[in-house]
């Protein structure tokens, strides 16, 4: 993809402007290698996401330590249901995105352009220190696409690991294989990927992105021992037909297996998309179809108090993790159902 946005200011000496990783030169242009858009960026121009620029023939990130949010958040809100349940993570974000979903819930961050000439720099050490002071068990990069904080995240995850904290991200899953592997090597242990639907959904609404890439990256992460959970936001008129949902369920089983959690989440109108909220009956239909096809852990999101918020033992059907919104009650003994002894996959 060709970078088309122009850089209009001098960024010399700005603290959040750092030379990027994962790029190559093509004449006077540079090709970014952080996400699968692989933007080719001419001198003085920005990539699709608006956070990377060709400055004098080198690729720079404009958002290193430029945090748009930082707060302690329950891990279940991500949602992670099988990853350090009941804990909280210091959660950070920056600006921009490599997708332009018209229903984005965090559009005030993801659709905003970075302003490095006015940005405040926040160090990875500060984030880790705040996590410890807040009693968090980990750090998380979320709210907007975490791949845009790639270089910063590498340092953050290394420092978090040294302090005994976990590191996770909430992503659209469109990072390059090299970027994913480098994050894992730096300490990434939790990956939640938002799947936007099927081929048609990505072609129509995600600016021609390849719908296979998120599944590829989820599979790679799983093979490297990373905990993976998949979220399918059911958006009316985009990906809510049962044919598309069934294909996603089949893909999930094929590449991730029956024990990887799958969440069907309720959409609400946001940003440029004004269809009414997803009917709860549609979510229930999707969950029941996934169970019918052989998945073991399927959930409904954004419907507090629904029975499909909780985790049920595949062996005996007993409720082993009770959830109501962000309240969690564990009914496990040494990672197993206290009734029948079936092992419930909880990371770590």
Q: Tens of pLDDT along 159-191?
A: 999 999 999 999 999 999 999 999 999 999 999
Phi/psi at 30 (5° precision): -125, 150
- pLDDT score at 258: 98
Predicted TM-score of the model (pTM): 0.96
Average pLDDT in the chain? 96
Q: What is the model's pLDDT at position 118?
A: 92
Q: Residue 2: its pLDDT value, please?
A: 60
Residue 10 banded pLDDT, cuts 50, 70, 90: confident
Q: What is the three-class DSSP state of 247?
A: helix
* Residue among 162, 210, 161 at smallest CA distance from 184: 161
Chain segment 311-342, per-residue pLDDT in tens: 999 999 999 999 988 889 999 999 999 999 99
Contact (Cβ atoms closer than 8 angstroms) between residue 16 and residue 67: no
Tokens 């309240």 correspond to 327
How far is Cα 335 from Cα 348, in angstroms, rounded to an integer? Answer: 10
Q: At what angle do helices 280-293 and 242-256 cross, to 10 degrees?
A: 40
Position 3 scores a pLDDT of: 57
DSSP conformation class of 58: E
More confident call, 99 vs 3? 99
pLDDT band at 4 (very low <50, low <70, confident <90, very high): low
Q: What is the pLDDT of residue 11?
A: 79
What domains, with CATH codes, occur in the chain?
Answer: 5-61 (no CATH), 69-295 (3.20.20.70), 310-348 (no CATH)
CA-to-CA dists, residue 47 to 37, 59, 165, 171, angstroms: 9, 10, 33, 19
Contact 303, 323 (CB under 8 A): no
């Amino acid at each position: 993809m060709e970078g088309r946005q122009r850089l209009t200011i001098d960024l010399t000496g700005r603290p959040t402007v750092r030379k990027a990783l994962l790029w190559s030169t093509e004449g006077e242009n540079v090709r970014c290698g952080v996400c699968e858009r692989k933007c080719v960026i001419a001198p003085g121009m920005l990539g699709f996401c608006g956070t990377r620029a060709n400055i004098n023939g080198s690729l720079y990130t404009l958002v290193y330590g430029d945090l748009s949010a930082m707060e302690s958040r329950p891990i279940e809100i991500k949602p992670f249901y099988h990853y350090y349940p009941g804990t909280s993570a210091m959660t950070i974000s920056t600006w921009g995105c490599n997708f332009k979903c018209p229903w984005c819930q965090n559009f005030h961050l993801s659709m905003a352009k970075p302003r490095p000439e006015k940005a405040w720099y926040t160090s990875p050490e500060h984030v880790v220190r705040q996590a410890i002071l807040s009693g968090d068990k980990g750090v998380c990069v979320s709210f907007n696409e975490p791949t845009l904080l790639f270089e910063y995240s590498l340092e953050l995850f290394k420092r978090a690991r040294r302090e005994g904290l976990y590191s996770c991200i909430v992503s659209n899953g469109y990072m390059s294989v090299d970027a994913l592997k480098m994050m894992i090597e730096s300490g990434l242990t939790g990956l939640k990927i938002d799947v936007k639907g099927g081929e048609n959904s990505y072609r129509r609404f995600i600016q021609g992105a390849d719908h296979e890439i998120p599944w590829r990256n989820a599979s790679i992460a799983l093979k490297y021992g990373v905990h993976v959970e998949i979220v399918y936001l059911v958006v009316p008129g985009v990906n809510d037909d049962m044919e598309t949902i069934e294909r996603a369920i089949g893909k999930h089983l094929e590449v991730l297996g029956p024990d990887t959690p799958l969440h069907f989440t309720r959409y609400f109108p946001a940003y440029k998309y004004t269809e009414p909220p997803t009917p709860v009956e549609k979510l229930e239909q999707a969950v029941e179809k996934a169970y019918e096809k052989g998945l073991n852990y399927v959930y409904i999101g954004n419907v507090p108090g629904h029975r499909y918020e909780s985790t049920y033992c595949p062996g005996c059907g007993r409720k082993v993790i009770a959830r109501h919104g962000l309240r969690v009650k564990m009914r496990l003994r040494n990672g197993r159902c206290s009734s029948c002894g079936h092992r419930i996959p909880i990371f770590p």
